[in-house]
Amino acid sequence: MRRAKSAAAAAKPRGQKRSGTPRPPPGPNTSRARRSASHAGGGEQAAARRPSQKRRLRSSSPRAQEAGPGEPPPELALLPPPPPPPTPATPTSSVSTLDLGEQRERWELFQKRQRLTSEGAAKLLLDTFEYQGLVKHTGGCHCGAVRFEVWAPADLHIFDCNCSICKKKQNRHFIVPASRFKLLKGAENITTYTFNTHKAQHTFCKRCGVQSFYTPRSNPGGFGIAPHCLDEGTVRSIVTEEFNGNDWEKAMKEHKTIKNMSKE
């Protein structure tokens, strides 16, 4: 009896269940519905697992992949490194750092009496020694836009030139080395006129037109100062010498001192 039941069970197909109605074979519509349902159910989970577009682009960028862990991306690596922090400036030398020896007390007393800073006291002594026998003249143009100072004798030797331009503008002047001249203000208000050899630099104020100083052709390394543009109180006397600028080359050869007046 048992052998007959087992033979009957073995005769049934393996895919058929023992109880219940048999399930129809899957058709094309059924498999398509299953796939759409699986996509619909897992869409939200896929969206949750999917990184943002910007994050995906950054991670997938070949330039970003080149930078290893802990390294900046190449875009930042190409930027110049930040400048180092500024180093503190070394203090300049002062009286306290100078070795004045036994003269320290005299130096400090001199500053106190003259009411000068250390730099002002040094300038006063240097001017007195370096420009010994000279006085400091100050002057400028008519409107005051251009101001200067010049170290020269109190007794001035003036040249009165009769060349084409000096005659028209009455250019009487005395000559000093460039080291003794200092422009105090008005560099932006000065303009220059040149002609012929263009060696002489005829400088004058843009506003009022006055030429208070210029660079003469005879002494390109110095300045020619107009005595009538100096402030009052420092000129003791004036001696005027005529210079034949109409025959400039001949006058320069015959004159013994004018070409050296801008030298120290």
Per-residue pLDDT of the chain (264 residues; tens, 9 = 90+): 444 454 445 444 554 445 555 555 555 555 554 554 454 455 555 444 555 554 544 444 445 454 455 555 555 555 556 666 554 444 444 556 778 888 888 988 998 998 989 888 888 888 888 788 899 999 999 999 999 999 999 999 999 999 999 999 899 999 999 999 999 999 999 999 999 888 889 999 999 999 999 999 999 999 999 999 999 999 999 999 999 988 989 999 999 889 888 887
Spatial separation of the C-alpha atoms in residues 76 and 68, rounded to whole Å: 13
First to last CA, the chain: 145
Exposure pattern of 225-249 as b/e (b: 16+ CB <10 Å)? Answer: bbbebbeeeebeeeeeeebebeebe
Q: Which of 124-127's residues contact partners 24+ apart within 8 Å by CB, and which partners?
A: 127/151
Q: What is the DSSP letter of 215?
A: B
206's tokens = 């843009």
- Looking at residue 86, its pLDDT comes to 52
- Angle between the N-to-C axes of helices 118-130 and 104-114, in degrees from 0 to 180, rounded to the nearest 10: 90
* Residue 134 near residue 151 (C-beta atoms within 8 A): yes
* Residue 57 near residue 51 (C-beta atoms within 8 A): no
For residue 132, give the 3-state DSSP assignment: coil
Measured in whole angstroms, the distance separating CA 137 from the mean position of its chain's CA atoms is 35
Q: What is the DSSP letter of 212?
A: -
* Residue 140 near residue 212 (C-beta atoms within 8 A): yes
* Residue 146 near residue 186 (C-beta atoms within 8 A): yes
